[in-house]
Amino acid sequence: MTDRYAVVGNPIAHSKSPRIHALFAAQTGQDLRYEALLAPLDDFAGTVRRFRSEGGRGLNVTVPFKHEAFALADRRTPRAERAGAVNTLTLHADGSIDGDTTDGVGLLTDLTVNHGLDLAGRSLLVLGAGGAVRGVLEPLLAERPARLVIANRTVAKALELAGLFADLGPVEGCGFDALPGRRFDLIVNGTAAGLSNEVPPLPDDVLIEGGACYDMVYADAPTAFVRWARERGAAHALDGLGMLVEQAAESFRIWRGVRPDTRPVIAALRPGI
């Protein structure tokens, strides 16, 4: 019987995950169906239960349910515990649920494998201090950067997040007003500012010459942060398409035991290629 998987969120209609997983399944010869599942805002757990009772084997979880997925999981990986969120649920036949998060490894694979960036000894600036940023701090620090600065509009949240990860490396939190005079090799945007087509207030010279910028979100047209990076001559001005495909590939590996080749899938999704 064809195994069923889905991405669950609200809203969900524009998710690219069904297309990504269909391409993975075709490439690896896995017999599965992957759909988009809209959960009511007040019934995430019921939606998961119904999907499982209909034979569902696994779920990707997106906004706004990653915390509820964390709470629903009977077992969680150490990286999900660190991230405080779950984006991959495995629904077992005995009724138990495993939770993992693949967002962090998705970002790191895109940065280091697909784009060949070496973060060891580098200065990293991460913009934002919400759930998206919390999900990527552990793997970024595992690359052993010289420092990782979290800058956020609400300074207290940046300080709190830095404190949560201080045992993993040289991480500090601050507000945007503490950035003038500091320079970074890589800037990762994890704020929601792009949703309103804005870029956080950054000094013009905050990126070193030849530095890289990464926007964790993806849109068909260049995001405001990608445009900002291009205007400042960044050597890499990247959006989150690669991260989206890489986190999906890691979820696919967890469920199916096979890691798909992501390059042709990224190329197929990139508009104009």
CB 266 within 8 A of CB 239: no
Q: Which is nearer to ligand ATR, 24 or 214 (CB)?
A: 214
- What 3-state DSSP class applies to 183? coil
CA-based nearest residue to 202, from 222, 221, 230, 225: 225
- What 3-state DSSP class applies to 43? coil
Task: Give the shortest CB-51-to-ligand ATR separation in angstroms.
Answer: 23
Q: Which is nearer to ligand ATR, 139 or 200 (CB)?
A: 200
User: In this chain, which residue has its C-beta nearest to ligand ATR?
Assistant: 130
- What 3-state DSSP class applies to 146? coil
Q: Which is nearer to ligand ATR, 128 or 240 (CB)?
A: 128
Task: Give the shortest CB-179-to-ligand ATR separation in angstroms.
Answer: 13
Element containing residue 174 per DSSP (H, E): strand 171-174
Residues that bind ligand ATR (CB under 6 A): 128-133, 152-154, 157, 191-193, 196, 198, 200
| DSSP states along 88-144 | EEEE-TTS-EEEE--HHHHHHIIIIIIS----TT-EEEEE--SHHHHHHHHHHHHT-
CA-based nearest residue to 266, from 7, 25, 20: 20
Task: Give the shortest CB-61-to-ligand ATR separation in angstroms.
Answer: 12
SS3 content of the chain, % helix, strand, coil (to 5): 40, 25, 35
Q: Which is nearer to ligand ATR, 195 or 268 (CB)?
A: 195
Report the distance separating Cα 117 and Cα 94, nearest Å.
Answer: 42
Tell me which of 57, 66, 134, 256 is the catalytic residue. 66
Task: Give the shortest CB-107-to-ligand ATR separation in angstroms.
Answer: 13
Please say if 16 is a catalytic residue.
no
Task: Give the shortest CB-145-to-ligand ATR separation in angstroms.
Answer: 20
CB 239 within 8 A of CB 211: no
Q: Which is nearer to ligand ATR, 128 or 211 (CB)?
A: 128
Q: Compute the C-alpha angle 213/214/215, nearest 5°.
A: 125
Which residues does the annotation mark as catalytic?
Answer: 66
